Amino acid sequence: MSRYEHIKQAAYDANMQLPKLGLVLFTFGNVSAVDRGEGVFAIKPSGIPYEDLTPEKMVVVDFDSFVVEGNMRPSSDTKTHAVLYRHWEKIGGIVHTHSTYATSWAQAQRAIPIFGTTHADHLTVDIPCAPPMEDSMIEGDYEHQTGFQILNHFEKLGLSYEEVEMILVGNHAPFTWGKTPEKAVYNSAVLEQVAQMALLTEQINREAPRLKDALIKKHFERKHGPLSYYGQV
């Protein structure tokens, strides 16, 4: 039995949630699960249909994206995951999808405005959209640079990855993360729902105002922080 069994199982379970939640077509998505003690993460093999996945097929790589265990090539997005794990020390799982509505906002190169409490229950700012990368970054080590594009955009906006667990990469698609792979998948589903409702909101009212500050604060604090009262203790 592999010493990485737990993250391979966790990565497998989380990957299998993506088609169930309607977030992927064919193989257009991947989830990873990290073991901080070992300094490695398990990730979906590249190009394998979800129905053919097993926990054993998950590929284990280190934070330099070198394969530590597994016979298959890891996801082509592995280096992006590796950069985020290395720099953001408290995340336990990462998800990348091309889900319909979130990807459309990414293609439109717009941050998703905070229009309602569904959004504010999860984060207090517009969902950020990193601009497309400079040509030199694209032509170089592309997926590695995608990780830095995300880090740089968070730094530029002064955002905390612990408070904002999602981003759109302009022209490309979303990445989400969380303390666990399950939470990262949850965030991908929330993002897709918020992305759809934001588009519909603008269609219903081109001048729809952003959510007022008092509601942003109240809804986020209902679910997060010392005074939260959502869910069970």
Q: Which of 9, 142, 170 is nearest to 77 (CA)?
A: 142
Pairing of strands 174-178, 93-97: antiparallel
Distances (CA, A) of 166 to 6, 139, 151, 156, 232: 25, 25, 12, 15, 24
Binding piece for a second copy, criterion CB under 8 A, among 3-11, 29-37, 153-161, 193-201: 193-201
For residue 178, the cross-strand partners are: 93
Q: Is 196 in the site for a second copy (CB under 8 A)?
A: yes
Q: Is 209 in the site for a second copy (CB under 8 A)?
A: yes
Give me the 10-49 binding string for a second copy, x by CB under 8 A, dash otherwise. Answer: ---------------xx-x----------------xxxx-
Q: Is 199 in the site for a second copy (CB under 8 A)?
A: yes
> Closer CB to a second copy, residue 68 or residue 208?
208
Q: Exactly one of 5, 56, 109, 162 binds a second copy (CB under 8 A); which one?
A: 109
Q: Is 118 in the site for a second copy (CB under 8 A)?
A: yes
Q: Is 56 in the site for a second copy (CB under 8 A)?
A: no
Alpha-carbon span 68 to 70, nearest angstrom: 7
- Measured in whole angstroms, the distance separating CA 5 from the mean position of its chain's CA atoms is 23
Distances (CA, A) of 170 to 28, 53, 130, 179, 224: 17, 29, 5, 24, 28
Binding piece for a second copy, criterion CB under 8 A, among 29-37, 62-70, 95-103, 155-163: 95-103
Per-residue tokens: 121: 């229950």
Min dist CB 17 to a second copy, Å, is 12
Q: Which of 7, 15, 10 is nearest to 60 (CA)?
A: 7
User: Quick one: which H or E segment has residue 174?
Assistant: strand 174-178
Q: Is 197 in the site for a second copy (CB under 8 A)?
A: yes
Q: Which residues does the annotation mark as catalytic? A: 121, 230
List residues binding a second copy (CB under 8 A): 25-26, 28, 45-48, 72-73, 76, 98, 100-101, 103-110, 115-118, 132-133, 135, 138-139, 142, 171-173, 186, 189-190, 193, 196-205, 208-209, 211-212, 214-215, 218, 222, 229-233
